[in-house]
Amino acid sequence: MQDILQRLNTGNAAERLAALKKIILDEKEPPAVMPQYANNHIHTTYSFSPYSPVAAVYFARAAGLQTAGIMDHDSIGGAEEFIEAGKITGIATTIGLECRVSVEGTPLEGLRINNPDQLSNAYMALHGVPHTQINYMQEVFKPLREKRNVRNRKMVDNINTLMSPYGIAIDFYSDVLPISNYAVGGCVTERHLLYALGKKILNIIGQPKTADFLENEMSIPLSQKQKEQMTDKDNLYFLYDLLGILKSNLVERIYVPATDECMHISELSRLAQDTGSLLCYSYLGDVSDSVTGDKKAQKFEDSFLDLLFDVITEQKINAVTYMPSRNTPEQLKRIQKMCRARGITEISGEDINSPRQKFICEQLAQPQFAHLIDATWKLIEREKDETERQLNMIN
């Protein structure tokens, strides 16, 4: 699988698609299909992920998925490659992007909503973007990606100040940008910054001493599992595991609030309506144990869900997306009940940005989540119909 991943991550989009065609042609038999699962929230290298758009589709299929959805931060630059990969593999695809919005001036102002790092700021998702709108959407978010990089450079400065006692520093242009797809329309995130820092720690400190360095020099407490990961000389995912540790412990120390790069929630709502996209609120819920390993126990929107849903309705937000693997049964029952009471669509997606994460959410096989599979097929059909409608209007 590592060999296949390397082949599908190498070169430009055309070369990656050609490699995918050859891999599929050489395949002895296709993977078993598991129709009880779906995933509409797969990050690619156009934000932060081990997977190019081609690789994301391939590994989604390898996991048994019949559908796959791309969801990158502030970018839909990988969408066309993702769609073509779906055609090659026979996987139904849906496209979208994720972004942060300001909720200042709404009843949510001053609250910690679903963003661990910043008050009055929320993660939202645009699902089912019509294919006619891909280029337009990229242009809309291009200046926001550039503004985000202004903030990214300030956070690099903060990282270097923090790490200066240890003789460790990163450079935004030589260490961060090369591990991103920014040059071809991707976005640079906090994960890129901390992954670049992890590489420097590995190169300067060395893997055998990393756990000791984190605990005794940087005063970062490690769980037994994290110690084992850091000291396992055969750990293929060492840098991703280190990233998780750094993200959960350092972000609050280096974070610069996102301002200019964030639309207001009302602006994003208008963009969704103008483009025919499905605007979704990304439910996080109070966190006790992070499934992705990079979030601390923290309170989010559970204490003000009624208020949140009032704003969702007011802002014409059409859907709520959530991860069944991340929440408790009580949280899930409550969010489902509130969605149904308000006539809001429910969408599921597993936030894939690490090679340790599974492409399938095993909870979806439970009967109470069968509607999320139906919702995925409806989302795909909606995207197709809206694309055809807009093409007919153009022609």
Report how far residue 313's alpha carbon sits from residue 176's, in angstroms, rounded to the nearest whole number: 39
Read off the pLDDT of each residue in 148-152 and give the average, rounded to a whole number. 98
Task: Say if strands 345-348 and 263-264 run parallel, antiparallel, or are unpaired.
Answer: unpaired
CB 150 within 8 A of CB 89: no
Q: What is the DSSP letter of 67?
A: E
| Torsion from C-alpha of 379, 385, 391, 392, nearest 10 degrees | -160
Residue closest to 8 by CA, chosen among 45, 48, 47, 63 = 45
CB 44 within 8 A of CB 70: yes
Per-residue pLDDT at 349 = 82
Phi and psi of 46, rounded to 5°?
-80, -10
Predicted confidence (pLDDT) at residue 141 exceeds the cutoff of 50: yes
**Most distant pair of Cα atoms in the chain: their distance:** 66
Read off the pLDDT of each residue in 280-287 and give the average, rounded to a whole number. 94
| DSSP count for the chain of H helices, then E strands | 13, 7
Read off the pLDDT of each residue in 234-247 and give the average, rounded to a whole number. 96
Per-residue pLDDT at 229 = 97
Report how far residue 201's alpha carbon sits from residue 110's, in angstroms, rounded to the nearest whole number: 36
Tokens matching residue 190: 């906090």
Amino acid identity, residue 307? L
**What are the chain's domains?**
2-145+259-394 (3.20.20.140)
CB 77 within 8 A of CB 140: no
% of residues, the chain, pLDDT over 90: 94
Question: Who's near 307: CB < 8 A, 6+ residues apart?
Answer: 107, 108
| Torsion from C-alpha of 326, 331, 332, 336, nearest 10 degrees | -140
Rg, Å, the chain Cα set: 21
Q: pLDDT tens-digit profile of 163-173?
A: 999 999 999 99
Report how far residue 133's alpha carbon sits from residue 50's, in angstroms, rounded to the nearest whole number: 26
Per-residue pLDDT at 2 = 83
In terms of DSSP H, where are the helices of 76-189? 79-89, 134-163
CB 69 within 8 A of CB 39: yes
Question: Who's near 207: CB < 8 A, 6+ residues apart?
Answer: 230, 231, 233, 238
Q: How far is CA 265 from the centre of its chain?
A: 19
**Which residue bears the tokens 């096989």?**
365
Per-residue pLDDT at 364 = 93
CB 313 within 8 A of CB 306: no
Phi and psi of 44, rounded to 5°?
-125, -175
Residue closest to 168 by CA, chosen among 218, 211, 216 = 218
Predicted confidence (pLDDT) at residue 290 exceeds the cutoff of 70: no
Residue closest to 70 by CA, chosen among 49, 87, 101, 90 = 49
∠ CA(278), CA(83), CA(388), 5° rounding?
55
Task: Give the number of other Cβ atoms within 10 Å of residue 9's Cβ.
Answer: 17
CB 286 within 8 A of CB 292: no
Q: If you average pLDDT over every residue of the chain, what do you get? A: 95
Could you tell me the pLDDT band of residue 291, with boundaries at 50, 70 and 90? very low
30 SS3 class: coil
Q: pLDDT tens-digit profile of 356-393?
A: 999 999 999 999 999 999 999 999 999 999 999 999 99
321 SS3 class: strand
Q: pLDDT tens-digit profile of 323-362?
A: 999 899 999 999 999 999 999 999 998 889 999 999 999 9
Could you tell me the pLDDT band of residue 98, with boundaries at 50, 70 and 90? very high
| DSSP H or E segment with residue 192 | helix 190-205
Q: Which residues pair with 125 in a beta bridge?
A: 98, 280
